[in-house]
Amino acid sequence: MRPLLYAANWKMHLPPAEARAFAERFLALTSPVSGRSLWFFPPAVSLEGTAVALRGRPDIRVGAQDVHWEPKGAFTGATSVPLAAGAGAAGALVGHSERRHVFGETDAETGRKVQALLGAGLTALLCVGEKLDQREAGQTEAVCLRQLRAGLEGVTGGAWERVVIAYEPVWAIGTGRNATPEDAAQVHRAIQAELARLGAPGRRPVLYGGSVNAGNAAALTAQPEVDGVLVGGASLDVEGWAGIVGRG
Protein backbone atom coordinates (compact mmCIF):
# COMPACT_ATOMS: atom_id res chain seq x y z
CA MET A 1 0.00 0.00 0.00
CA ARG A 2 1.15 3.57 -0.79
CA PRO A 3 2.51 5.29 2.35
CA LEU A 4 0.25 8.04 3.67
CA LEU A 5 0.89 10.69 6.28
CA TYR A 6 -1.82 12.24 8.47
CA ALA A 7 -0.91 15.42 10.34
CA ALA A 8 -3.02 17.22 12.95
CA ASN A 9 -2.46 20.95 13.42
CA TRP A 10 -4.17 21.89 16.67
CA LYS A 11 -3.35 25.60 16.27
CA MET A 12 -4.23 27.58 19.43
CA HIS A 13 -6.39 24.84 20.95
CA LEU A 14 -6.03 22.08 23.57
CA PRO A 15 -4.19 23.11 26.72
CA PRO A 16 -1.92 20.50 28.37
CA ALA A 17 -4.54 18.51 30.29
CA GLU A 18 -6.92 18.38 27.32
CA ALA A 19 -4.12 17.49 24.92
CA ARG A 20 -3.03 14.59 27.14
CA ALA A 21 -6.62 13.37 27.47
CA PHE A 22 -6.99 13.58 23.67
CA ALA A 23 -3.79 11.56 23.18
CA GLU A 24 -4.88 8.87 25.61
CA ARG A 25 -8.31 8.55 24.03
CA PHE A 26 -6.74 8.48 20.57
CA LEU A 27 -4.50 5.59 21.61
CA ALA A 28 -7.54 3.72 22.91
CA LEU A 29 -9.42 4.28 19.63
CA THR A 30 -6.69 3.44 17.11
CA SER A 31 -3.89 1.04 16.35
CA PRO A 32 -1.08 1.50 13.84
CA VAL A 33 -2.12 0.99 10.22
CA SER A 34 0.55 -0.39 7.91
CA GLY A 35 2.02 2.32 5.68
CA ARG A 36 0.45 5.19 7.61
CA SER A 37 2.32 7.61 9.80
CA LEU A 38 0.90 10.36 11.96
CA TRP A 39 2.07 13.73 13.17
CA PHE A 40 0.51 15.83 15.93
CA PHE A 41 1.31 19.55 16.16
CA PRO A 42 0.05 20.74 19.57
CA PRO A 43 0.50 24.26 20.91
CA ALA A 44 3.94 24.74 22.48
CA VAL A 45 2.73 24.43 26.07
CA SER A 46 1.06 21.09 25.28
CA LEU A 47 3.94 19.65 23.27
CA GLU A 48 5.70 17.73 26.02
CA GLY A 49 2.55 16.20 27.54
CA THR A 50 1.33 15.10 24.12
CA ALA A 51 4.73 13.64 23.20
CA VAL A 52 4.94 11.71 26.48
CA ALA A 53 1.40 10.38 26.12
CA LEU A 54 2.02 9.18 22.54
CA ARG A 55 5.57 7.88 22.84
CA GLY A 56 4.57 4.21 22.87
CA ARG A 57 3.37 4.42 19.25
CA PRO A 58 6.22 4.26 16.72
CA ASP A 59 3.89 5.39 13.91
CA ILE A 60 3.25 8.72 15.68
CA ARG A 61 5.49 11.79 15.91
CA VAL A 62 4.88 15.08 17.63
CA GLY A 63 6.10 18.47 16.40
CA ALA A 64 5.99 22.20 17.10
CA GLN A 65 3.74 24.56 15.14
CA ASP A 66 6.56 27.03 14.63
CA VAL A 67 10.20 27.51 15.65
CA HIS A 68 12.69 30.36 15.72
CA TRP A 69 15.88 29.90 13.68
CA GLU A 70 18.26 30.96 16.46
CA PRO A 71 19.18 28.17 18.87
CA LYS A 72 18.91 30.37 21.96
CA GLY A 73 18.97 33.95 23.13
CA ALA A 74 16.87 37.00 23.85
CA PHE A 75 13.78 36.20 21.75
CA THR A 76 10.90 36.59 24.20
CA GLY A 77 7.99 34.35 23.33
CA ALA A 78 9.79 32.30 20.70
CA THR A 79 10.58 28.57 20.74
CA SER A 80 13.95 27.47 19.41
CA VAL A 81 14.58 24.12 17.75
CA PRO A 82 16.53 22.80 20.79
CA LEU A 83 13.71 23.89 23.12
CA ALA A 84 11.11 22.13 20.97
CA ALA A 85 13.30 19.03 20.67
CA GLY A 86 13.76 18.97 24.44
CA ALA A 87 9.98 18.90 24.82
CA GLY A 88 9.75 15.89 22.50
CA ALA A 89 9.37 17.49 19.07
CA ALA A 90 10.69 15.48 16.14
CA GLY A 91 9.99 18.33 13.74
CA ALA A 92 7.94 21.46 13.16
CA LEU A 93 5.58 23.15 10.77
CA VAL A 94 7.25 26.01 8.91
CA GLY A 95 5.55 28.76 6.94
CA HIS A 96 1.99 27.89 7.82
CA SER A 97 -0.25 30.47 6.13
CA GLU A 98 -1.22 31.90 9.51
CA ARG A 99 2.46 32.50 10.26
CA ARG A 100 2.91 34.11 6.85
CA HIS A 101 -0.27 36.18 6.65
CA VAL A 102 -1.25 36.85 10.29
CA PHE A 103 2.25 37.20 11.75
CA GLY A 104 3.96 38.53 8.64
CA GLU A 105 6.59 35.81 8.31
CA THR A 106 8.65 36.20 5.13
CA ASP A 107 9.89 33.62 2.63
CA ALA A 108 13.44 34.22 3.82
CA GLU A 109 12.47 33.54 7.44
CA THR A 110 10.86 30.25 6.47
CA GLY A 111 14.17 29.25 4.86
CA ARG A 112 16.09 30.00 8.05
CA LYS A 113 13.63 27.96 10.10
CA VAL A 114 13.91 25.00 7.73
CA GLN A 115 17.71 25.18 7.94
CA ALA A 116 17.59 25.30 11.75
CA LEU A 117 15.38 22.21 11.89
CA LEU A 118 17.30 20.17 9.34
CA GLY A 119 20.63 21.18 10.85
CA ALA A 120 19.49 19.81 14.20
CA GLY A 121 18.32 16.54 12.65
CA LEU A 122 14.61 17.33 12.88
CA THR A 123 11.91 17.23 10.20
CA ALA A 124 10.64 20.40 8.54
CA LEU A 125 7.06 20.32 7.29
CA LEU A 126 7.06 23.34 4.98
CA CYS A 127 3.63 24.76 4.10
CA VAL A 128 3.03 26.60 0.84
CA GLY A 129 -0.15 27.97 -0.70
CA GLU A 130 -1.72 30.78 -2.65
CA LYS A 131 -4.27 33.37 -1.55
CA LEU A 132 -7.59 33.68 -3.35
CA ASP A 133 -6.61 36.74 -5.40
CA GLN A 134 -3.44 34.95 -6.47
CA ARG A 135 -5.44 31.89 -7.57
CA GLU A 136 -7.86 34.08 -9.50
CA ALA A 137 -4.93 35.83 -11.17
CA GLY A 138 -3.56 32.47 -12.34
CA GLN A 139 -0.55 32.68 -10.01
CA THR A 140 -1.13 29.54 -7.95
CA GLU A 141 1.90 27.58 -9.13
CA ALA A 142 4.18 30.62 -9.29
CA VAL A 143 3.41 31.51 -5.65
CA CYS A 144 3.73 27.96 -4.34
CA LEU A 145 6.98 27.31 -6.18
CA ARG A 146 8.47 30.62 -5.05
CA GLN A 147 7.64 29.73 -1.42
CA LEU A 148 9.09 26.28 -1.99
CA ARG A 149 12.38 27.56 -3.42
CA ALA A 150 12.82 30.12 -0.64
CA GLY A 151 11.97 27.61 2.08
CA LEU A 152 14.30 24.93 0.77
CA GLU A 153 17.26 27.00 -0.36
CA GLY A 154 20.49 25.24 0.52
CA VAL A 155 18.96 21.86 1.41
CA THR A 156 21.39 19.12 0.40
CA GLY A 157 22.23 15.47 0.88
CA GLY A 158 20.58 13.41 3.58
CA ALA A 159 18.68 16.41 4.93
CA TRP A 160 16.16 15.91 2.10
CA GLU A 161 14.96 12.82 3.96
CA ARG A 162 13.56 15.13 6.63
CA VAL A 163 11.62 17.45 4.30
CA VAL A 164 7.85 17.19 4.01
CA ILE A 165 5.69 19.66 2.08
CA ALA A 166 2.07 20.65 2.65
CA TYR A 167 0.12 22.41 -0.09
CA GLU A 168 -2.51 24.49 1.68
CA PRO A 169 -4.43 27.00 -0.44
CA VAL A 170 -5.02 29.92 1.92
CA TRP A 171 -8.61 30.35 0.74
CA ALA A 172 -9.37 26.75 1.77
CA ILE A 173 -8.06 26.94 5.33
CA GLY A 174 -10.81 26.99 7.93
CA THR A 175 -13.37 28.08 5.33
CA GLY A 176 -15.11 24.83 4.47
CA ARG A 177 -13.97 25.34 0.87
CA ASN A 178 -11.69 22.77 -0.72
CA ALA A 179 -9.54 22.48 -3.75
CA THR A 180 -10.97 19.61 -5.77
CA PRO A 181 -8.82 16.47 -5.57
CA GLU A 182 -7.87 17.08 -9.24
CA ASP A 183 -6.88 20.71 -8.59
CA ALA A 184 -4.80 19.64 -5.61
CA ALA A 185 -3.15 16.87 -7.64
CA GLN A 186 -2.12 19.36 -10.34
CA VAL A 187 -0.36 21.63 -7.83
CA HIS A 188 1.22 18.60 -6.16
CA ARG A 189 2.67 17.55 -9.52
CA ALA A 190 4.20 20.99 -9.98
CA ILE A 191 5.66 20.82 -6.45
CA GLN A 192 7.20 17.38 -7.08
CA ALA A 193 8.75 18.63 -10.32
CA GLU A 194 10.23 21.64 -8.52
CA LEU A 195 11.56 19.43 -5.71
CA ALA A 196 13.38 17.36 -8.32
CA ARG A 197 14.83 20.54 -9.86
CA LEU A 198 15.99 21.63 -6.41
CA GLY A 199 17.90 18.38 -6.05
CA ALA A 200 15.66 16.18 -3.90
CA PRO A 201 17.08 12.71 -4.50
CA GLY A 202 13.69 11.00 -4.46
CA ARG A 203 10.04 11.72 -4.06
CA ARG A 204 9.19 13.63 -0.88
CA PRO A 205 5.72 13.48 0.70
CA VAL A 206 3.43 16.32 -0.36
CA LEU A 207 0.33 16.65 1.83
CA TYR A 208 -2.83 18.57 1.07
CA GLY A 209 -4.43 20.84 3.69
CA GLY A 210 -7.39 23.18 3.89
CA SER A 211 -10.80 22.15 5.24
CA VAL A 212 -9.98 18.45 5.09
CA ASN A 213 -12.59 16.44 6.98
CA ALA A 214 -14.08 12.96 7.30
CA GLY A 215 -16.16 13.55 4.17
CA ASN A 216 -13.36 14.51 1.78
CA ALA A 217 -10.09 13.04 3.13
CA ALA A 218 -10.38 9.72 1.30
CA ALA A 219 -11.10 11.38 -2.08
CA LEU A 220 -8.01 13.56 -1.65
CA THR A 221 -5.67 10.73 -0.65
CA ALA A 222 -7.04 8.63 -3.51
CA GLN A 223 -5.09 10.94 -5.84
CA PRO A 224 -1.67 9.33 -6.36
CA GLU A 225 -0.02 12.78 -6.04
CA VAL A 226 -1.54 13.40 -2.58
CA ASP A 227 0.63 11.70 0.03
CA GLY A 228 -1.50 12.61 3.03
CA VAL A 229 -3.34 15.46 4.68
CA LEU A 230 -2.67 18.29 7.13
CA VAL A 231 -5.82 18.87 9.13
CA GLY A 232 -6.77 21.73 11.45
CA GLY A 233 -10.38 21.96 12.64
CA ALA A 234 -11.29 18.33 11.96
CA SER A 235 -8.32 17.09 14.02
CA LEU A 236 -9.73 18.61 17.23
CA ASP A 237 -12.45 16.02 17.65
CA VAL A 238 -10.79 12.79 18.75
CA GLU A 239 -13.42 10.40 17.38
CA GLY A 240 -13.52 12.26 14.08
CA TRP A 241 -9.72 12.38 13.78
CA ALA A 242 -9.40 8.69 14.64
CA GLY A 243 -11.93 7.99 11.88
CA ILE A 244 -10.01 10.04 9.31
CA VAL A 245 -6.67 8.36 10.00
CA GLY A 246 -8.16 4.89 10.12
CA ARG A 247 -10.21 5.08 6.94
CA GLY A 248 -9.09 4.42 3.36
Catalytic residues: 96, 168
| Number of residues located near ligand PGA, criterion CB under 6 A | 13
Convert 216-225 to b/e letters by CB count within 10 Å (16 or more is b).
Answer: bbeebbebeb
Output the CA torsion 218→225→115→153 (10° steps): -150
Smallest separation (angstroms) from ligand PGA to the CB of 233: 4
Task: Please identify, using beta-carbon distances, which residue of 97 and 223 lies nearer to ligand PGA.
Answer: 97
Q: Which residues pair with 231 in a beta bridge?
A: 8
154 to 183, contacts with ligand PGA by CB under 6 A? Answer: 168, 173-174
CB of 128 closer than 8 Å to CB of 148: yes
Q: Which CB atom, from 84 or from 166, has the smaller least distance to ligand PGA?
A: 166
Q: Does 63 bind ligand PGA (CB under 6 A)?
A: no
Least Å distance between CB 28 and ligand PGA?
Answer: 24
- Return d(Cα 87, Cα 18) in angstroms, integer: 17
Among 233, 237, 238, 240, binds ligand PGA (CB under 6 A): 233
Query: Which of 70, 239 has the CB closer to ligand PGA?
Result: 239
Alpha-carbon distance of 105 to 142, in angstroms, equals 19
The angle at the Cα of 177, spanning 125 to 235, to the nearest 5 degrees, equals 50
With 0-12 / 13-18 / 19 or more C-beta atoms within 10 angstroms meaning exposed / middle / buried, residue 134 is middle
Shortest distance, CB of residue 40 to ligand PGA, whole angstroms?
Answer: 13
Q: How far is the CB of 232 from ligand PGA (least distance, A)?
A: 2
CB atoms within 10 A of CB 60: 23
Q: Which stretch binds ligand PGA (CB under 6 A): 52-60, 112-120, 195-203, 229-237?
A: 229-237
Residue of 4, 5, 6, 9 that binds ligand PGA (CB under 6 A): 9
Q: Interface with ligand PGA includes 228 (CB under 6 A)?
A: no
Closer residue to ligand PGA (CB): 168 or 227: 168
- Cβ closest to ligand PGA, residue 159 vs residue 223: 223
Q: Which of 42, 111, 169, 232 binds ligand PGA (CB under 6 A)?
A: 232
Asked whether 50 and 62 are in contact (CB, 8 A), the reply is yes
Sign of CA dihedral 208, 209, 214, 219: negative
Indicate which single residue of 210, 227, 228, 245 sits in contact with ligand PGA (rule: CB under 6 A). 210
How far, in Å, CA of 208 to CA of 159, rounded?
A: 22
Chain contacts with ligand PGA (rule: CB under 6 A): 9, 168, 173-174, 209-212, 230-234
